[in-house]
């Protein structure tokens, strides 16, 4: 076993432990999955529901069962010939009192053995921060916090510590040694003298306490995005790399894990070096693995969001990405480009907003830099300023001018990051910078244009290693690393978490890694992407749902139908807006919800409306409304128009929730349910098509927990709700054929049946999927445009796959996603010649070559389903 056949992603936390996973191994084995794919398993902050806030890299998280439970899980997997891939977090750690390394830095400052583990700027320009670490953990201003007694001296475990709220922070050894038995009374924050003494003691520490809102302006450690509780690691240092990966390497060497998914690789100073170093270490450990462990190379994928024209560098020695680009491509091929103009027109008419998504993203980047990344911006600007001052030719360049130029580059940067190193930029990164400079020239001050070109040259246009060793070269290298680490968090916060919540033309295209500016792609473009993946990264992960998705995979598949019926949607929205005018309220000087927020809400309601939910079922509608309300509050804050996380506008948020609940408690709920029902069947056809393409195109399919049934989840934490594995086990045990499940398609068992049959096919013919060629199949006839089809082939084994798309004209308002044969009248598919056996249906086909190939009627190929797969194990 080398690369996995198929992964099943599970989210571990105190409510779903490694031992709980043991109970579902049998289910996934019967489904046909080869590997479980675990969220981070190392010790995270207490109560973490995601595991990305690791506080101890040397221990399997006891909240999920610890290493003993991990061994039980792996034993269960091995007994069924399965493996385990785990998520690792090389970019950052959770910081606070649970992190012993962080506490040691607070105690000893720059003298701590772990001071070099974290990406801390010890020489900050603020004199109060020189040699000190900013701790933005106070809930109010510093003086007020002292006066309220939330900071005081306390005795704990036979040592003096600083108690801040309910946590205890260490004191430096020197200041602690100077405290006597009366220290607590002398530092009593309840008296003026005590507060003065307490303040003086705090000022002697290696950290500075501050109001949490100061973080974005002043923080002097690299964060994960703008999250104060996640501090960046200097993973490029070999000692840090080895120490943070020590347990992961041991688990791999002992045969407990078989591969890793690297989180947020773009946050690292040098992703290429890291990935190659990781691959090398895993290869050297492979010979130590026990005989019962798989002998193939470790599976290694990286979380990386690619631009539409960007490819993953092959010299990183990874197996690929985690599949966001596939999520984009498979979604786009199921959308109808004819809906773009009317849907764009609706958005512009209602909102008065003419800006396209690209313009929205640029605006969001500019806002994000001010709102969330001032400190990071200043730090990068100072690094560039140091580089300028280090060279006599540029010593007259001002810090203010560099900062202005840097802002415009970041605002117009077209990808998540570049990867220039000592050799400078490659051809692709050079083109990226050219686009960034072109954009910046449109908005920059005229007198800064020469400096813009100069800064672009410093940032990898000129190879740092071409410079002689010395301060200029060191400063350029540091500035380049800091710039490249800053572009990806700015992009993520601006594109995914701001513009994606502002721009509401069609929410099915507002997703992590998706190009929301593009509504649809043609089948030939989808085929090109698949063929390229087969040729370059055949084991790339293929995802359509993740722990980070904004909307569930079948939610997006249903909303895609709006691109096929835009006029009906426009009429419906206009009617609803008129009917619900009385539900809107004035809040903080504006009507709530705004037109944009209202249109976005309507899409959420029809997209997420559960199958079988009756608008008369008050309790169930209330539960649905509560889920949508939680999403809505988060979405409004992420959009950062009228409210935000740092300064919530609760009157506006409350008015929007009132509007939502009024809609769902009136006769309008029936109309929402009716429209959701109207698009539900073609949406289900899209969902099945999406699943089939994920399971059959080149790559390794990833099955996110629970998505073996219909997935109408919302953004986290909604997409991490408990999964009913018992119901899934029962329906899988019945092993019904997909056509037999058409009458009960709403319960999700038809999707499970399709997935199970294709996963078992992958299990029976692994080389066909792992190594087989990919070739598009031609369709002819009046319905040819409704088909995406291809054939995979390996040494006489052939798989023909076809999915229907754009079926709203046939299925909208229908009872089931069965496609009547007459819809395919006159349409044929040119399969290779041979004898074919149905995978999803029970039939057989024989195709005979003619002058134009081996035509088969589309009706026979699909057999009433919206998806088809046929296997031929020998040529005629």
Q: What is the CATH number of the domain that holds 282?
A: 3.20.20.80
Residues 86 and 105 grouped into a single domain? no
Whether residue 574 lies inside any domain: the answer is yes
Q: Report the pLDDT averaged over residues 591-600.
A: 97
Q: Quick check: 318 pLDDT over 90?
A: yes
**pLDDT at residue 836, rounded to an integer:** 96
Please check whether residues 387 and 486 belong to one and the same domain. Answer: yes
Residue written as token pair 């130590």? 288
Domain match, 158 and 262 both: no
> Stretch 244-265: mean pLDDT, rounded?
98
Note whether residue 576 is domain-resident.
Answer: yes
Residue 718 falls inside a structural domain:
no
875 pLDDT more than 60: no
Cα(641)–Cα(663) distance, integer angstroms: 23
* CB neighbour burial string for 555-578, b if at least 16 within 10 angstroms, e if fewer: bbbbbbbbbbbbebbbebbeebee
Q: Enumerate residues 6+ apart whose C-beta is below 8 A from 2.
A: 294, 296, 297, 299
What pLDDT, on the 0 to 100 scale, is given for residue 1?
44
Burial of 647 by CB count in 10 Å (0-12 exposed, 13-18 middle, 19+ buried)? exposed
User: Is 362 found in the same domain as 491?
Assistant: yes
Let me know: does 485 contact 584? Beta carbons within 8 Å: no
Q: Quick one: which of 101, 134, 137 has its CA closest to 229?
A: 137
32 and 171, same domain (yes or no): no
Evaluate whether residue 740 is within a structural domain. Answer: no
In this structure, are 615 and 667 located in the same domain? yes
Residue 28 has pLDDT above 60, yes or no: yes
Does residue 35 sit within a domain? yes
Please report the pLDDT score of residue 851 as a whole number. Answer: 63
411 occurs within a structural domain: yes
| Mean pLDDT, rounded, for 792-802 | 96
For range 723-748, the mean pLDDT: 97
- Predicted pLDDT at 866: 98
Instruction: Give which of 540, 867, 864, 554 is closest to 693, Cα–Cα.
Output: 867
**b (16+ CB within 10 A) / e for 709-731:** bbbbbbbbebbbeebebeebeeb
C-alpha separations of 334 from 59, 338, 357, 752, 811 in Å:
44, 12, 20, 20, 15
Q: What percent of the chain has pLDDT over 90?
A: 92
What's the pLDDT score for residue 852? 65
CB atoms within 10 A of CB 581: 9
**Chain mean position to CA 829:** 37
Confidence tier at 876 by pLDDT (50, 70, 90): very low
One domain for residues 221 and 240? no
The domain boundary residue, chosen from 505, 532, 565 = 505
At 138, the pLDDT band (50, 70, 90 cuts) reads: very high
Are residues 280 and 390 located together in one domain of the fold? no
Total domains present in the chain: 4
* 54 and 165 co-located in one domain: no
In this structure, are 301 and 317 located in the same domain? yes
| Overall average pLDDT of the 696-717 stretch | 97
Kindly state whether residues 83 and 143 are assigned to the same domain.
no
For 359-381, the pLDDT digits (tens) are: 999 999 999 999 999 999 999 99
Task: Please name which of 517, 238, 269 lies closest in space to residue 383, comparing C-alpha atoms.
Answer: 269
27 within a domain of the structure (yes/no): yes
Using the 3D structure, point to which of 646, 678, 710 is the last residue of a domain: 678
**Cβ(461)–Cβ(474) below 8 Å:** no
DSSP 152-182: EEEEETTEEEEEETTEEEEPPHHHHHT--TT
Q: Which tokens is 195 given?
A: 């507060």
Find the CATH number of the domain harbouring 104. Answer: 3.30.1590.10
Q: Range of 397's domain?
A: 358-505
Considering 678, 701, 728, which residue would you say is the last residue of a domain? 678
Q: Is the pLDDT of residue 20 over 90?
A: yes
Mean pLDDT of the chain: 95
User: Strand, coil or helix: what is 606?
Assistant: helix
Same domain, 171 and 297: no
């Amino acid at each position: 076993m080398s690369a996995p056949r198929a992964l099943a992603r599970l989210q571990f936390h105190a409510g779903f432990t490694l031992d709980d996973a043991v109970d579902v191994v049998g289910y996934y084995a019967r489904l046909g999955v080869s590997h479980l794919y675990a969220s981070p398993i190392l010790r995270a902050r207490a109560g973490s529901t995601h595991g990305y806030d690791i506080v101890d890299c040397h221990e399997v998280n006891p909240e999920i069962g610890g290493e003993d439970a991990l061994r039980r899980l792996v034993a269960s997997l091995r007994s069924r010939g399965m493996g385990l891939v785990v998520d690792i977090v090389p970019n950052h750690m959770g910081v606070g009192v649970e992190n012993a390394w962080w506490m040691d830095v607070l105690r000893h400052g720059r003298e701590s053995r772990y001071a070099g583990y974290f990406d801390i700027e010890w020489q900050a320009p603020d004199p109060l921060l020189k040699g000190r670490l900013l701790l933005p953990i106070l809930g109010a201003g510093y003086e007020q916090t002292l006066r309220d007694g939330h900071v005081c001296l306390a005795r704990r475990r036979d040592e003096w510590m600083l108690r801040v709220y309910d946590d205890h922070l260490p004191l430096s050894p020197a200041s602690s040694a100077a405290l006597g038995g009366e220290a607590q009374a002398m530092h009593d924050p309840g008296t003026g003298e005590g507060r003065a003494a307490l303040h003086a003691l705090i000022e002697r520490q290696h950290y500075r306490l501050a109001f949490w809102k100061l973080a974005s302006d002043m923080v002097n450690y690299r964060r994960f995005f703008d999250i104060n509780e996640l501090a960046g690691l200097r993973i490029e240092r070999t000692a840090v790399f080895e120490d943070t990966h020590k347990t992961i390497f041991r688990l791999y060497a002992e045969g407990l894990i078989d591969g890793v998914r690297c989180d947020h690789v773009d946050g690292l100073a040098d992703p290429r070096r890291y990935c190659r170093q990781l691959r090398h270490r895993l290869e050297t450990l492979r010979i130590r693995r026990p005989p019962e462990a798989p002998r193939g190379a470790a599976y290694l994928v990286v979380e990386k969001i690619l631009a539409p024209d960007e490819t993953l560098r092959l010299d990183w020695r990874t197996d690929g990405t985690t599949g966001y680009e596939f999520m984009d491509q498979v979604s786009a091929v199921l959308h109808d480009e004819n809906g773009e103009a009317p849907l764009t027109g609706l958005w512009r008419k209602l909102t008065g907003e003419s800006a396209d998504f690209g313009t929205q993203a640029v605006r969001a980047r500019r806002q994000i830099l001010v709102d969330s990344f001032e400190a990071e911006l200043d730090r990068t600007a100072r690094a560039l300023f140091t580089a300028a001052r280090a060279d006599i030719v540029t010593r007259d360049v001002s810090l203010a001018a560099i900062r202005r130029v840097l802002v415009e580059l970041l605002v117009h940067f077209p990808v998540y990051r570049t990867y220039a190193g000592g050799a400078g930029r490659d051809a692709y990164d050079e083109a990226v910078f050219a686009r960034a400079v072109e954009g910046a020239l449109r908005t920059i001050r005229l007198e800064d244009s020469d400096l813009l070109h100069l800064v672009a040259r410093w940032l990898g246009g000129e190879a740092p290693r071409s410079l002689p060793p010395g301060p200029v070269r060191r400063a350029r290298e540091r500035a380049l690393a800091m710039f490249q680490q800053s572009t990806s968090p700015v992009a993520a916060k601006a594109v995914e978490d701001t513009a994606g919540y502002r721009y509401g033309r069609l929410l099915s295209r507002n997703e992590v890694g998706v190009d929301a500016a593009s509504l649809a792609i043609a089948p030939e473009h989808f085929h090109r992407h698949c063929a390229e993946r087969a040729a370059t990264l055949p084991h790339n992960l293929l995802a359509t749902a993740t722990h980070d998705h904004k909307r569930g995979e079948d939610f997006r598949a249903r909303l895609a139908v709006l691109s096929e019926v835009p006029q009906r949607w426009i009429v419906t929205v206009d009617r609803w807006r008129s009917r619900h005018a009385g539900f809107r309220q004035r809040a903080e000087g504006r009507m709530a919800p705004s037109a944009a927020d209202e249109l976005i809400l309507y899409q959420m309601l029809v997209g997420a409306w559960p199958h079988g939910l009756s608008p008369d079922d008050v309790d169930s509608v209330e539960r649905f409304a509560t889920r949508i309300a939680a999403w809505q509050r988060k979405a409004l804050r992420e959009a950062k128009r009228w409210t935000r996380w740092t300064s919530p506008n609760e009157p506006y948020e409350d008015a929007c929730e009132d509007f939502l609940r009024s809609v769902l408690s009136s006769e309008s709920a029936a109309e929402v349910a009716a429209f959701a029902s109207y698009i539900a069947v073609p949406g289900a056809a899209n969902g099945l098509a999406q699943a089939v393409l994920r399971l059959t195109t080149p790559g390794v399919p990833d099955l996110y927990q629970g998505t073996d049934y219909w997935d109408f989840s919302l953004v986290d934490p909604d997409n991490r709700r408990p999964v009913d594995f018992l119901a899934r086990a029962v329906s899988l045990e019945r092993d019904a054929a997909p056509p037999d499940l058409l009458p009960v398609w709403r319960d999700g068992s038809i999707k499970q049946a399709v997935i199970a049959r294709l996963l078992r096919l992958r299990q029976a013919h692994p080389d066909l999927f792992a190594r087989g060629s990919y070739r598009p199949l031609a369709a002819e006839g009046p319905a040819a445009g409704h088909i995406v089809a291809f054939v995979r082939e390996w040494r006489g084994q052939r798989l023909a796959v076809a999915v229907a798309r754009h079926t709203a004209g046939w299925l909208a308002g229908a009872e089931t996603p069965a496609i009547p044969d007459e819809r395919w009248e006159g349409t044929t598919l040119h399969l290779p010649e041979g004898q074919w056996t149905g995978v999803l249906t029970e039939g057989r086909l024989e195709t005979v070559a003619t002058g134009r190939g081996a035509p088969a009627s589309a009706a026979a190929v699909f057999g009433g389903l919206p998806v088809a797969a046929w296997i031929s194990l020998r040529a005629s």
